[in-house]
């Protein structure tokens, strides 16, 4: 089973930036889609954005223009660059991997806290 590990979370002030990383043990070329989700206390898990094997990206309206998804195929890593952070962005951020042809894996999450 492919390992999925998120990192890069922390405590920042509103308006600052943070970059999250998602590292997989498998090949990027075996993956159809990688996505970022987040879950705030007392709320449902929310889709943040995705990147396909071909490099196409989509982000939720709530983060569009502030968050960017990218990847480093040589390192089997996908990034979530978060800018203009708001207190409303406070959540545990999860990486989701959907394998081409079937199968899904989730990371354990990394905490992002944005203070006012």
- The predicted structure's pLDDT at residue 76: 85
Across the chain, mean pLDDT equals 93
Using CB atoms within 10 Å of the CB of residue 97, give its burial: 0 to 12 exposed, 13 to 18 middle, 19+ buried. buried
What pLDDT does 64 receive? Answer: 96
pLDDT number for residue 1:
65
Q: What is the pLDDT of residue 28?
A: 66
Q: CA 89, CA 33: separation in Å to the nearest integer? A: 23
Q: Which residues of 8-25 are buried (b: 16+ CB within 10 A; e: fewer)?
A: bbeebeeeeebebbbbbe
Q: What are phi and psi of 103, to 5 degrees?
A: 105, 140
* Low pLDDT (below 70) residues in the chain: 1, 28
């Amino acid at each position: 089973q492919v390992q999925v590990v998120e990192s890069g979370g922390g405590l920042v002030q509103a308006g600052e930036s943070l970059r999250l990383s998602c590292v997989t043990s498998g090949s990027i070329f075996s993956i159809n889609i990688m996505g970022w989700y987040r879950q705030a206390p007392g709320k449902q898990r929310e889709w943040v954005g995705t990147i396909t094997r071909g490099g196409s990206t989509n982000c939720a309206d709530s983060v569009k223009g502030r968050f960017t998804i990218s990847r480093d195929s040589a390192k089997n890593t996908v990034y979530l660059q978060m800018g203009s952070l708001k207190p409303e962005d406070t959540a545990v951020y999860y990486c989701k991997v959907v394998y081409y042809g079937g199968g899904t894996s989730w990371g354990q999450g990394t905490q992002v806290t944005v203070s006012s």
